[in-house]
Amino acid sequence: ALQGVETANFEFPLLTKTGARVEVLLNASSRRDVEGRVVGMVGIGQDITARIAQEQEYIRLIDTANAPIFGVDTEGKVTVWNRCAADVTGYTADDTMGHHLVSEFITEDFRASVQEVLDRALQGVETANFEFPLITKNGARVQVLLNATSRRDAEGRVTGM
């Protein structure tokens, strides 16, 4: 900000006087004089420690659930693959992340119908108890039951399923 460039949503740790660690979200803007020269900056910081703790708990809950949970982005690429999904299919999260769910992990005879369910979820239409086979790493078919719901960002925009 002191060089004339605004900073938005910069996260960093801050140690308090007592030594406690606080996670801070900073937004900084340049302060200029009447001639447009940078004479300082205005910064607004927000303590996001609790939010980060909630996000980490959410990740742990998904990862340790006793049901396969997977998520995709708006392009159908895997963004979430929990331990149970890995146990059921033999594919680790590293094997699946960024790969297209339907074209790479769904049996050919179900690709069109699964893609339709995902497309509807990405339009905000939920589907419950849709049964289809996933392809395991060793080539076997395993039946799973899908509940497809939209995932949204803070502004309510669909970011995936």
Q: 87: helix, coil or strand?
A: helix
pLDDT at 155: 86
pLDDT at 112: 96
pTM over 0.75: no
d(CA 109, CA 113) in angstroms, rounded, equals 9
Q: Return the beta strands (E) in 101-150 as ranges.
A: 127-135, 141-148
d(CA 43, CA 82) in angstroms, rounded, equals 38
pLDDT in tens, 9-40: 999 999 999 999 999 999 999 999 999 999 99
Mean pLDDT, rounded, for 149-159: 88
d(CA 98, CA 76) in angstroms, rounded, equals 9
150 alpha-carbon distance from chain centroid: 12
pLDDT at 125: 92
pLDDT in tens, 62-99: 888 899 999 999 999 999 999 999 999 999 999 999 99
12 alpha-carbon distance from chain centroid: 20
pLDDT level of residue 58 (50, 70, 90 thresholds): confident
